Amino acid sequence: MILGPGDAAPDFSLSDQFGRDLHLAEAARRGPVILAFLPYAFSPVCGDEIRALQEIQDDADAWGVPLTVIAVTADAKYTLAAWGAERGVSLPIGSDFWPHGEVARAYGVFDEEHGVAERGVFVITADGTIVSGRQVARTETRDFAIEARTAAANA
């Protein structure tokens, strides 16, 4: 079952596409986090979404809003490095590759049958509380405006 408002956000540590350690608790200390799970690197819908997430991060940085956008997929970090470079993405993309899908599973958005994350997205406050959480169909492109507004309101 997907986590929702009021739930404690499970902390995690993953490698990102640059080989850096990515810690949710560390990111949340700087301000709210938009945590978006994506099923497949290099797929058309995920490509559109990763660019939209990068634009949110760029806007937050330009406006001085202490917001961190984190994307997570079950792809290997090397795949994510190539995908991020192709898409011009600098926001962290965490590799939930091994143990496979562990972080997505903790948030209730892992598809066991297909071995991928579902399209779940969460807004997490500095104290580690989820204030917004939702999931859409794998074929649906998300508009992250709600999450951007919610995160900015909690900054």
Q: Are 122 and 130 in contact (CB under 8 A)?
A: yes
Given 46, 89, 91, 123, the catalytic residue: 46
Amino acid at 145: A
Q: What angle do CA 117, 131, 123 make, to 5 degrees?
A: 45
Q: Would you put residue 43 in left (φ > 0), alpha (ψ -120 to 50) or beta?
A: beta
- The answer to whether 107 is a known catalytic residue is no
Contacts of 145 (CB under 8 A, 6+ apart): none
* Length of the chain as a residue count: 155
Catalytic residue annotation: 46
